[in-house]
Amino acid sequence: MRINHFLLLFLFFSLSISVSAQKKKKSKVEPGITYDEKLYNGMSWRNIGPFRGGRSVTSSGVVGDPMTYYFGSVGGGVWKTEDAGHNWKNISDGFFNSTSIGAITVSESDPNVIYVGTGEAPIRGVMTSHGDGVYKSTDAGKTWNHIGLDGTSQISEIRVHPKNPDIIYVAAQGSPYAPTEERGVFRSMDGGDTWKKVHYVDANSGVSNLSMDMKNPRILYAAFWDHQRKPWFIRSGGEGSSIRSFPD
């Protein structure tokens, strides 16, 4: 019987110590944002319009403003909502010479600054609309100015420095129909007043995507796509230099 009493006392003290340790451990956890997962179980994706805007390949939100968004239609210009999609308004009519939009980026450090690249970048077999370069707004889309890169034809992405809205990188895919020098990554250090081509492969290779490192904006990654699709032939089972395009 004594053994049983000692065993019960041992288990009681062990349980007390364990509960006390758990409480101390929980008290050290920093408070965070919590929510009831059951409230979101019934949520699903839905179309929030506009219902005649056509297909879109680009959109952008605004840091710190969950109600404001922009999207670009491949044939209908730039649209804006300030109530999370309940209402949309076209904001490019009367300012843009091209209605085909390939890229939209809102500056993180100044949400009034917006850059738009024209020209539908995803190449389609049936039709691809071309653009006329880059447009900029400094008043959240109320007015726009054309800031160059007219010959890029198709722009796939625009990246803006997170702390400086005047440093911009533009990914130009270029014309889908012929070789051109207006391809590659272009950079502006003065808000689009002047441009410099900072990365280029050849007249047939355009940039299909451009990404900026979230921790170091000096690091960028560019994906290139060859517009000239040529047949290839292989000699000697594909070893080394025996693989080449045809014609050279």
User: Do 53 and 76 contact (CB within 8 A), yes or no?
Assistant: yes
Pairing of the two strands 184-188 and 196-199:
antiparallel
Residues 6+ apart with CB under 8 A from 162: 108, 109, 217
Of 102, 213, 104, the residue nearest 152 (C-alpha): 102
Residues 6+ apart with CB under 8 A from 131: 98, 100, 101, 102, 117, 118, 119, 120, 152, 153, 154, 155
Provide the edge-to-edge strand list for the sheet that holds 168-172.
Answer: 155-160, 168-172, 184-188, 196-199
DSSP-assigned letter for residue 139? S
pLDDT digits (tens, 9 = 90+) for 205-244: 999 999 999 899 999 999 998 876 666 655 554 455 444 4
d(CA 240, CA 132): 42
- Rg (the chain; Cα; Å): 27
User: Do 196 and 211 contact (CB within 8 A), yes or no?
Assistant: no
Longest dimension (CA), the chain: 97
50 SS3 class: coil
Question: What share of the chain has pLDDT > 90, as a percent?
Answer: 58
Question: pLDDT tens digits, the chain, 248 residues: what are they?
Answer: 444 555 444 544 555 555 454 544 444 445 567 778 878 887 888 777 776 657 888 999 999 999 999 999 988 899 999 999 999 999 999 999 999 999 999 999 999 999 999 998 887 766 668 899 999 999 999 999 999 999 999 999 999 999 999 999 999 999 988 899 999 999 999 999 999 999 999 999 999 999 999 899 999 999 998 876 666 655 554 455 444 444 44
pLDDT digits (tens, 9 = 90+) for 123-151: 776 666 889 999 999 999 999 999 999 99
Q: Which two tokens stand for residue 63?
A: 């840091």
Phi/psi region, residue 23 (left: phi>0; alpha: psi -120 to 50; beta: rest), is alpha
